[in-house]
Chains A and B, each alone.
Chain A
């Protein structure tokens, strides 16, 4: 008992000193990555590896930024670009007066050096730009010329979005792939690592930033939250100003606590989620069967159950809202992505898959039509989607077993084409070119057993590919839109994969300390901080209320 009495005052002392800590004015608290402890890494070139946010769009910068919310390119380190007459040379005109954070000037040599690094170290060439480039050279201090091996207009976006590093720092780095770049020298708004500990790091302003008076935010601070729950709690409590988390029942749990300042914006700019049929396995090679599967899905229910109604059912173009300007309204109305069980049953009957006595449909060889549907264990939205899909398909007389795998196993099976049905994402780009190329082009088809970056369903359509190749050379917007409409028509006719819903791009903001967050009314960029390189637009726009 003496022991307990001795402890009591100590406990009280400790307890009483706990008040919410005042947060330094002008310091923006952001929650993007979820980690239990931070590891110091600011290597911008190695895409997707463990570099701290916002290394790739905040510390470092690219030449031009595509804002999918505005649907246009925003000049950044380059003030503009021009194609040569034969469309085999692309010239970027660099901005005057840009300096690296150590005060040295940014020049065309830095751009050339960066692209040569990608050539020497293929692991850094995430976009594969050296597949279509033959040369990069600095024509003047402010002009860089890229020479293409063939006419390939979509290549522009890969070049414009490439992060540029300083030659005077990186030329001495022995291995740029494994370099952790602890003290970044960069052109972005936030370059100074003022604090780095296992639970918190802080990035201060670039003293030489090229946009006068920006950034108005004095520093970015990042607290380590190991899971969504902790990050959400901090967001709700107002300890985090900007986040990109999935928040369940966000309007009730977050927005309603302070409707004047708490805001969320979940535009459907994320990649479309598909149900991928492995088209190398009969009867999934039959377009009637794929369309029947699609028509059996009650997508309204699906988005309600799997996504809490944060999204809408996909239409027959499968395009997300970032591509609204490209969408062909007629194609979007096609019936095969609308719920119609009778039509679906009829299509399967036509395809010769008749029902057996037990209600299950039979394949041509008399075997019951059963499939495994593969999803990632723990990705609860997809698991729920898989359950709805499975139930809907069983109504059609198809036996579906939901199988969950650890991510690595699931992805290996998907990439190698060793699955029957799987739910997965799709690829994006500034135009729908990449999206449809990886869904439809025979050039992206790999044999079963070989790893494929996408086109896991392994379907190629020669007609669509011809259109896509014409798109690569199409210079005018009219021409591009006309071709893209035809591609959509082809996609809808072939139905290579079954679109489910576009993913929301999650973003939450608390404007009690900072103003200028993108909103539905002011959609100058995506609110989601993950959205690169949009985050550069936001980071330079925000300003503190208190000074």
Chain B
């Protein structure tokens, strides 16, 4: 088993290197000149004579690609992500720092809630096939999930924030709050997170529920479950420990992916609810051809996807004795 884990680790290291390299190459293949885009935002406020000096200040070089690549790797190892063009002269790490925690917090919690609740509802729906949960809630959630997210979020904001005034209209916490480890601040953050988090949950719950329900239905038809029933085990134990545990595996795998993609940002959530986060930074980086910021964000996303998948591998190892046998 130790060898299995080591092998997986090795695989993830190679995958990390490959994606870091792609991360370096792809922005450089894109059309357009970042220096020109930079210059553009000054709308003629900068004399053309200042352009050369400007390029030097931004660190644009004409060095050969392999040299740029080596510098890139060296800086990465040192944890230096460079200077953002769009937020010049702020460091990329500082820019990402403004949103990373909030994205992880909001989208992470929302994805976990959605996964746990969706899977549980799926189990119940399959167990009571044809019940109101199965024939009522499941289609209703699938219906909600099919709405464009943007529209759903705007509607929630308008209804619960603007018209009813139950929840704040924007931001992760009130602008007069002192961030810190106080109960008041935590309550304020929670209050601000309700609308954005529930909009994500509502939009994704149906997917988890349906996925879980379908594998559960298949599992329930297997001989092992029939045997468990025949042996007179309590139904709750059959449902959770025998059927659900087996049916959960595919869902756990997709959960790994979903957690990884949390960081690429719930862009629309952030825009609708003015929530700080990395999704908005990513779109801004693309618009401004801010390569260092783009690379920094992709790096964070890549590492998160890989780490999440590694965690899922370990989780499957625990959930599924068969993987242990192969390992």
| Residues of A bordering B, CB below 8 Å | 11, 14-15, 17-21, 24, 36-41, 43, 46-50, 121-128, 131, 177-180, 197-200, 221, 223-227, 230, 233-234, 237, 406-409, 411-412, 415, 425, 427, 438, 451-454
Q: What residues of chain B lie closer than 8 Å to A412, measured between beta carbons?
A: 32-33, 36-37
> Measured between alpha carbons, how far is A444 from B83 in the docked complex, in Å?
32
B322–chain A nearest beta-carbon distance, Å: 32
Q: Which of B19-71 contact A (CB under 8 A)?
A: 31-34, 36-37, 39-54, 56-57
Report how far A438 CA is from B190 CA in the complex, Å: 54
B53 touches A126 (CB 8 A): no
A14's contact among B95, B169, B170, B191, by CB below 8 Å, is which? B191
- Say yes or no: is B172 at the interface (Cβ < 8 Å to chain A): yes
Contact of B87 among A39, A225, A233, A451 (CB under 8 A): A39
Q: Which 7 A-B pairs have the closest CB atoms?
A: A128-B47, A408-B37, A122-B53, A48-B42, A37-B98, A36-B280, A178-B89
Q: Does B223 contact A (CB under 8 A)?
A: no
- Report which of B56, B90, B275, B280 forms a contact with A50, defined as CB distance below 8 A: B90
Q: Is B108 an interface residue (CB 8 A)?
A: no
19 additional A-B pairs beyond A40-B90, A408-B34, beta carbons within 8 Å, are A14-B190, A18-B166, A20-B165, A36-B277, A36-B284, A46-B88, A46-B89, A48-B43, A49-B88, A121-B53, A123-B57, A125-B50, A198-B102, A230-B271, A233-B169, A407-B287, A408-B33, A415-B40, A451-B39
A453 and B276 contact, CB distance less than 8 A: no
Residues of B within 8 A of A122 (CB): 49-50, 52-53
Would you call B90 and A41 a contact (CB within 8 A)?
A: yes
Residue of A14, A226, A451 with most chain B CB atoms under a 10 A cut-off: A226
**What does DSSP make chain B's interface, helix, strand, loop or mixed?**
loop
Contact A123 B173 (CB under 8 A): no
Complex Cα spacing A406 to B40, Å: 12
A48 touches which of B41, B168, B176, B277 (Cβ 8 Å): B41
Q: Is B270 at the interface (CB under 8 A from chain A)?
A: yes
Q: Please, how many angstroms separate the alpha-carbon atoms of A415 and B165 in the complex?
A: 49
Q: Number of B residues whose C-beta is below 8 Å from A?
A: 66
A43: which B residues are within 8 A, CB to CB?
89
Bound: A21/B184 CA distance, A: 14
A198 to B36, CA, bound (A): 28
Q: Which residues of B contact A50 (CB under 8 A)?
A: 84, 86-90
Report the minimal beta-carbon distance from A54 to chain B, rounded to whole angstroms. 16
- Interface pair A230/B274, CB less than 8 Å apart: yes
Closest to B167 in A: A18
Complex partner residue of B175 from A49, A128, A200, A237, CB under 8 angstroms: A200
In the complex, residue of chain B having the shortest beta-carbon distance to the beta carbon of A223: B175
The answer, yes or no, to whether B174 is at the interface (CB within 8 Å) is yes
A123 — which chain B residues lie within 8 A by C-beta?
A: 50, 53-54, 56-57
B179 contacts the other chain (CB 8 A): yes
Q: Chain B nearest CB: distance from A450 CB in Å?
A: 10
CA–CA, A454 to B48, complex, Å?
9
B193, closest chain A residue (CB): A14
- Say yes or no for B194: interface residue by CB 8 A criterion: yes
Contacts of B53 in A (CB 8 A): 121-123
Tell me the smallest distance from the CB of A428 to a CB of chain B, in Å. Answer: 9
CB distance from B230 to the nearest CB of A (A): 30
B252 touches A (CB below 8 Å): no
Closest CB in chain A relative to B116 CB, distance in Å: 10
Given A15-B166, A406-B287, A408-B289, residue A36 in contact with residue B175 (CB < 8 A): no
Q: A121-B53, A131-B49, A198-B99 are in contact. Are A415 and B36 (CB under 8 A)?
A: yes
Q: How far is the CB of A125 from chain B (nearest CB, A)?
A: 6
Contact status A408-B32, CB under 8 Å = yes
Q: Are B281 and A36 in contact (CB under 8 A)?
A: yes
Give the shortest distance, in Å, between A241 (CB) and chain B (any CB): 14
Contact status B50-A39, CB under 8 Å: no
B187 at the interface (CB under 8 A from A): yes
Are A41 and B87 interface neighbours, CB within 8 A?
A: yes
**Distance in angstroms between the alpha carbons of A200 and B57 in the assembled complex:** 29
A427 CA / B48 CA spacing, docked (Å): 13
In the bound complex, do residue B88 and residue A125 qualify as a contact, i.e. CB atoms below 8 Å apart? no
CA distance A127 to B46 in the complex (A): 6
Neighbouring B residues of A41 by C-beta, 8 Å: 87, 89-90
Chain B 199-231 residues near chain A, CB threshold 8 A = none
- Whole-angstrom CA separation of A451 from B39 in the bound complex: 10
Q: With A36-B280, A408-B289, A453-B47 in contact, do A180 and B42 touch (Cβ < 8 Å)? A: no
Cβ-closest chain B residue relative to A376:
B40
Query: With an 8 A cutoff between CB atoms, is B171 at the interface?
Result: yes
Expressed in whole angstroms, the Cα–Cα distance for A401 and B56 within the complex equals 38
B194 & A411 in contact (Cβ 8 Å cutoff):
no
Chain B residues with Cβ under 8 A from A180's Cβ?
89-90
Given that A38-B98, A49-B88 are known contacts, is A127 also in contact with B176, CB under 8 Å in the complex? Answer: no
Choice from A39, A237, A407 contacting B40 with Cβ under 8 Å: A407
Q: How does the 8 Å CB contact mask read for B72-114 relative to A, with 1 for contact and 0 for none?
A: 0000000000011011111000110011001000000000000
Q: Which residues does chain B contribute within 8 Å of A40, judged by CB atoms?
A: 90, 94
Cβ-defined contact, A451 with B276, below 8 A: no
Cross-chain contact B276 with A411 (CB below 8 angstroms): no
Contact A199 B280, CB 8 Å, known A18-B165, A122-B50, A225-B274: no
B119 within 8 A of A: no
Q: Let me know if B264 is at the binding interface, CB within 8 A.
A: no
Q: B309 an interface residue at 8 Å Cβ cutoff? A: no
Cα of A543 to Cα of B187 in the assembled complex, Å: 35
Cβ B45 vs Cβ A47 within 8 A:
yes
A226/B42 in contact, CB under 8 A: no
B96 to A: closest C-beta gap in Å: 10
**Contact digits for B154-182, partner A, Cβ 8 Å, 1 yes 0 no:** 00000000100111111111111001000
Contact residues in A for B40 (Cβ distance below 8 Å): 407-408, 411, 415
Does B288 count as interface, using CB distance less than 8 angstroms? yes
A226-B287 in contact (CB<8A) = no
The docked-state distance in angstroms from the alpha carbon of A408 to that of B289 is 7
Chain A residues in 8 Å Cβ range of B270: 36, 226
Q: Is the CB of A126 within 8 A of B31?
A: no
Give A438 to B48 CA distance when docked, in angstroms.
12
Contacts of A223 in B (CB 8 A): 170-171, 175
